[in-house]
Amino acid sequence: MSNPQDYPSNTHSWNYFDVKTCWEDGSFLYFISSTCLVVLTLLTSFVYNFLRWHLKYTFHLFRAFLYDSRKRKTMNPHQFDAFVSYNVDDEGWVYREMLPVLEGQQGWRLCLHHRDFQPGKPIIENITDAIYGSRKTICVISRSYLQSEWCSREIQMASFRLFDEQKDVLILLFLEEIPARHLSPYYRMRKLVKKRTYLSWPQAAQHPGVFWQNVQRALQAGDSENTDLLTGPAGC
């Protein structure tokens, strides 16, 4: 009959296991390094594919916050009455229809990116300067506008100023009839349309004079939240 003491004890063997051997040949270090590299790669891929626009937006909001704080300290007057945010595809309408009335007849000082942006200056700084250097921002919205990356950044910056200052600084002007369901992919625009009235150029085809009077009233409105000066979805 065998004596139980003749068999090695698993507990006894484990007590003599030396973990230093893993460090000596570098296997454990290689394992940790490769694991960290894989996790970092997966995390980077996830951020790039799903969160990059949120990070960009946060970065621009932070820049706008710093800019706004600096402007409040210097208390510089506004250089323009309104910054016109529009897509290059709608530039013909802006120069043919808007400028002759708002600048020529009504005498407003408008800021246009093709005309008034400072050459050689980073475009995001030009956008920030234009929005905060103007009393209001007029967004000329079309399907091309919604699909433009830079136009999206402009309305995001203007929306941040609207939220931050709690003042009536944003005027929405639709060049095209865009059903609400088509605004679903554009979260920020859909949110603004639900909360604010807007101007519609197609609905003003028979009464353009009334349309430009409404724009004038919107520009004349003070800093308080006073959206009843604008036309609603069914107005001119």
pLDDT digits over 32-57, tens only? 888 888 888 888 777 666 666 666 66
Residues 6+ away with beta carbon under 8 Å from 117: 123, 126, 130
Question: Is 71 a domain residue?
Answer: no
CATH of the domain at 207: 3.40.50.10140
User: Do 144 and 85 sit in the same domain of this protein?
Assistant: yes
56: closest CA among 153, 191, 189, 155? Answer: 153
User: Do 200 and 136 sit in the same domain of this protein?
Assistant: yes
Question: Is 215 a domain residue?
Answer: yes
pLDDT in tens, 174-185: 998 887 766 665
User: Do 39 and 104 sit in the same domain of this protein?
Assistant: no
Question: Is 151 a domain residue?
Answer: yes
Question: Is 67 a domain residue?
Answer: no
Overall domain count for the chain = 2
Contact status, residue 191 vs residue 163, Cβ threshold 8 Å: no
146: closest CA among 105, 114, 176? Answer: 176
User: Do 90 and 47 sit in the same domain of this protein?
Assistant: no
Question: Is 72 a domain residue?
Answer: no
- Name the residue range of residue 37's domain: 12-60
User: Do 40 and 134 sit in the same domain of this protein?
Assistant: no
Mean pLDDT of all residues in the chain?
76
pLDDT in tens, 150-207: 888 888 888 777 777 777 888 989 998 887 766 665 666 666 766 667 888 988 877 8
Question: Is 222 a domain residue?
Answer: yes
User: Do 51 and 82 sit in the same domain of this protein?
Assistant: no
User: Do 22 and 100 sit in the same domain of this protein?
Assistant: no
